[in-house]
Amino acid sequence: MKNIYKIALLGLVLFAGSCSDYLDEPPKYLVTDEDLLSNEAGLKIYMARMYSYLPIEDFKYMGQWGFNFSSWLGAFGIEATGEALNRDGICRAFTGEDTPYWGMAFTLLRDANHVIENLPEYQENFAEPLYNHYLGQAYFVRAFVFYAMAKRFGGVPLVTWEMEYPNEKEALEVPRATEEETWNQVMADFDRAAELLLPASPAANMANRFVALSYKAEAMLYAGCVAKYNQTVSGNLTGLGQKTGVRVIGFDPNTWQDASKRYFTEAYKAARQVMSEGGYSLYRKKWSATDREAQYQNMVDMFSDLTSPENIFVREYEYPTVTHGLEAYSIPFIFRTVLAGGTCPSLDFVELFDGFPRYPDGTIKVTDGNSNTQGNYVLYDTPMAFFANAEPRLRAYVIFPGDRYKGQDIEIRAGVYTGNTPISPLFTDYSYASAETRYQDATAHNSNPKRLFVGTTPDIRGTVAGVADPVTGQVPMMAAGANGPFQSNGEGAMTGLYLRKWLNTDPAFLPAEGKSDQPFILMRYADVLLNAAEAAIELSLAGVASPDGSNLIQVATTAINDIRERAGATLLVGNLPSTEEGRNIVRKERRKELAFEHKTKWDLRRWRVSHYEGRDGLWGETRNKDAYSSTTNFRFRGLYPFYSSVAGKYFFDARFQWVALKTFSYGPLDYYFAIPSGEVTKSEYIDQQPNR
SS3 label, residue 524: strand
What local confidence, expressed as pLDDT, does residue 26 receive? 58
C-alpha to C-alpha distances, 472 to 91, 417, 420, 476, nearest whole angstrom = 45, 18, 19, 10
Q: How many CB atoms lie within 10 A of CB 512?
A: 13
Radius of gyration of the chain (CA): 27
CB 598 within 8 A of CB 76: yes
CA-closest candidate to residue 662, choices 498, 439, 490, 442: 490
What local confidence, expressed as pLDDT, does residue 24 receive? 56
The domain ranges of the chain are 524-622
Instruction: Please name the amino acid found at residue 320.
Output: P
What local confidence, expressed as pLDDT, does residue 164 receive? 81
CB 483 within 8 A of CB 492: yes
> Torsion angle, CA of 486/492/495/497, rounded to 10 degrees?
-140
What local confidence, expressed as pLDDT, does residue 30 receive? 77
User: For the packed helices 256-277 and 209-229, what is the interaxial angle rounded to 10 degrees?
Assistant: 150
Report the C-alpha gap between 285 and 297 in whole angstroms.
Answer: 10
Residues 136-178 pLDDT 10s: 999 999 999 999 999 999 999 999 999 887 767 666 789 999 9
With a pLDDT cut of 90, the percent of the chain lying above it is: 85
Mean pLDDT by 10 residues, the chain (692 residues): 31 34 58 91 95 97 94 94 95 97 96 98 97 98 98 98 78 91 98 98 92 98 98 91 96 96 98 98 97 98 97 96 95 93 97 97 97 97 98 98 95 94 97 93 94 71 48 71 85 96 92 94 98 98 97 98 98 97 98 98 98 96 94 96 95 93 95 96 94 89
What local confidence, expressed as pLDDT, does residue 29 receive? 64
Q: How far is CA 243 from the centre of its chain?
A: 35
What local confidence, expressed as pLDDT, does residue 18 receive? 37
Report the C-alpha gap between 604 and 81 in whole angstroms.
Answer: 7
What local confidence, expressed as pLDDT, does residue 351 receive? 98
C-alpha to C-alpha distances, 382 to 313, 399, 409, 427, 649, nearest whole angstrom = 40, 15, 12, 23, 7
Residues 541-558 pLDDT 10s: 999 999 999 999 999 999
- Mean pLDDT, the chain, whole residue set: 92
CB 466 within 8 A of CB 476: yes
Residues 315-340 pLDDT 10s: 999 999 999 999 999 999 999 988 99
**Would you list the DSSP string of 532-564?**
HHHHHHHHHHHTPPPTTS--HHHHHHHHHHHHH
∠ Cα 69 71 77 (to 5°)? 100
What local confidence, expressed as pLDDT, does residue 165 receive? 73
CB 623 within 8 A of CB 352: no
Report the C-alpha gap between 474 and 459 in whole angstroms.
Answer: 13
What local confidence, expressed as pLDDT, does residue 1 receive? 30
